Amino acid sequence: MKQNNWPLKQALEEFRNLKQMPLHMPGHKQGRSLQAEWLHILGQAAIFDYTEIPATDDLAQPIGPIKKSQELLAQLYGADQSFYLINGTSGGIMASMLAHLKAGDEVLLSRNSHRSISQGVILSGATPVYISPEFDEKHLLPLPLSTQAIEAKLQEHQNIRLCVLTSPCYYGLIGDLIEQVELLHKYDIPVLIDEAHGAHLNFSKNLGIGGLEAGADLVAQSPHKILSSFTQSSWLHIQGPRVDKERLKASLRMMQSTSASYILLLSLEAAMAQMYTDGPEKLNTMLDNVKRLRQNLVNNSFSLLNLNELNSNLVKAHDISKVYINTLEFGLKGYEAAELLRAKGIEPELSDYAGVLLMFTLADDRAFIEQVETKLLQFASEQKKKPRSQKTEPLSWADLQPEIILNPREAWFAGKEKVSFDQTENRIAGETITIYPPGVPIVLPGELISKEILTYLKQIKAQGGNIVCDDPTLNTLTICTTN
């Protein structure tokens, strides 16, 4: 599909050429009030940092270039309609949940969903019906949900109004989306796919199926993660009759700023333009190069997360651009390996107990990938020389399974107190405690804090994991005062 007309870029350039005297926001007026040392950094971006005036349209109610640009996006992905998002995929997920849920409704989701999904539960007042994922024993990673587990919950719960599935997961695993969407639609339940890590799936035959192709109703993607848009910019696609479009538009207005950043919008259009032109070719070349890298690493004693080895019928595809190295095989926890890699000039996307995740994108050409390979092979040869004295004790999030005492929204609004960490066993959590990345909540408001959870948090902290909560030192936790 050839497309060379980028409506937002054109509108902003035309408006710029008019040289109107700006008597409107933003206050810096195309960078004029910025101090020199900042203008040096922000200059080009400042020129196109416009606001919603007639010539530039308005994301909250688009009728001009933003509308046209979004239409091109929908056409690119084969959606009925697409929306640019300026509060990340998080904003799109929360808006989609607000649009389809109300207090008293049930929402079906995986317990290891991203925190934006639990925030959507709190905002909507819905009751979560959690499915706990099975874990891969070797890499200690959650697997995609099984269709049987979804069906069991559908039979048990009659009030489910939305199902939220995550695909691919952070590590690139994709489950049986077609079967699962079909099943949920038999119950007339709309399906929202958190496809934050899958904006590129549409453009290669070698990656696995995306949510839209599987028939999902709402699909939120973070092109800033793997395509070329700027951080915080995302998009949301919808299709089919189950989406409440009017409520969705109102919810998007609620979850996003009234002053949408034109820098972010323009970067979304740029990312889309790339995928209309040379993006797919770049993507497929990168995938070929990563394939070669993976093979060379495996030939040199690396253990990688890989579809053939997983031996689970829950996984239907794996996005190979996510290279997860199991560092336990080198006698190192992922957090420790990440430090060693940083010292070599490699900054991983994520580290966890069992390994590190390296992420490749359209930006990475063959030379770059070969440089990474050289450094990884050096790392491996150095590690081999070390005695493997460390005994690694598997520590699994899967064993925690907190008991839900209060609905997340009830807990959010309950009275709170800060309690010394060691005094919180058997108290009800008043906050979300997440390890980031990947951003999966360990405890949600309203859940009982068990001894195992406290031990787990202490261990993660000691290993160098990044815990996001009210008091990241873990001296205190926020507790509901209702018990």
Ligand X SMILES: Cc1ncc(COP(=O)(O)O)c(C=O)c1O
Nearer to ligand X, 406 or 435 (CB): 435
Which residue reads 């690396």 in tokens? 302
Of 136, 138, 137, 131, nearest to 117 by C-alpha is 131
Q: What is the CA radius of gyration of the chain?
A: 23
Q: Residue 148 forms beta bridges with which residues?
A: none
Cα–Cα distance, 339 to 379 (Å, whole number) = 11
Which residue reads 């430090």 in tokens? 339
Cα–Cα distance, 309 to 63 (Å, whole number) = 50
Count residues binding ligand X (CB under 6 A).
14
Work out whether 88 is an interface residue with ligand X (CB under 6 A).
Answer: yes
Work out whether 229 is an interface residue with ligand X (CB under 6 A).
Answer: no
Q: How many CB atoms are closer than 10 A to CB 161?
A: 18
- Smallest distance from the beta carbon of 260 to ligand X, in angstroms? 15
**Nearest position to ligand X, beta carbon:** 88
Work out whether 351 is an interface residue with ligand X (CB under 6 A).
Answer: no
Cα–Cα distance, 97 to 78 (Å, whole number) = 22
- Smallest distance from the beta carbon of 423 to ligand X, in angstroms? 32
- Smallest distance from the beta carbon of 197 to ligand X, in angstroms? 6
Query: Which of 70, 82, 234, 267 is the binder for ligand X (CB under 6 A)?
Result: 234
Q: What are the CA-CA distances from residue 163 to residues 209, 245, 303, 353, 393 (Å)?
A: 18, 17, 34, 29, 35
Query: Which of 114, 153, 237, 316 is the binder for ligand X (CB under 6 A)?
Result: 114
Which residue reads 């950094």 in tokens? 41
- Smallest distance from the beta carbon of 90 to ligand X, in angstroms? 3
| Tokens read off for 214 | 């599987």
One-letter amino acid of 452: E
Stretch that binds ligand X, among 85-93, 321-329, 361-369, 396-404 (CB under 6 A): 85-93
Work out whether 166 is an interface residue with ligand X (CB under 6 A).
Answer: yes
One DSSP character per residue, 370-394 reads: HHHHHHHHHHHHHHHHS---PPPPP
Kindly write out the interface string for residues 265-294 of this chain, putting x where it contacts ligand X by CB under 6 A and - elsewhere: ------------------------------
Query: Which of 56, 82, 90, 112 is the binder for ligand X (CB under 6 A)?
Result: 90
Query: Which of 7, 175, 279, 439 is the binder for ligand X (CB under 6 A)?
Result: 439
* Cβ partners under 8 Å of residue 391, min gap 6: none
Of 177, 58, 79, 164, nearest to 114 by C-alpha is 164
* Cβ partners under 8 Å of residue 376, min gap 6: 297, 302, 325, 346
Query: Which of 56, 70, 82, 222 is the binder for ligand X (CB under 6 A)?
Result: 222
Nearer to ligand X, 165 or 480 (CB): 165
Work out whether 112 is an interface residue with ligand X (CB under 6 A).
Answer: no
- Smallest distance from the beta carbon of 118 to ligand X, in angstroms? 11
Work out whether 324 is an interface residue with ligand X (CB under 6 A).
Answer: no
Stretch that binds ligand X, among 83-91, 183-191, 271-279, 301-309 (CB under 6 A): 83-91
Q: Binding to ligand X (CB under 6 A): which residues in 179-208?
A: 194, 196-197
Applying CB under 6 A, the residues found at the interface with ligand X are: 88-90, 114, 116, 166, 170, 194, 196-197, 222, 234, 438-439
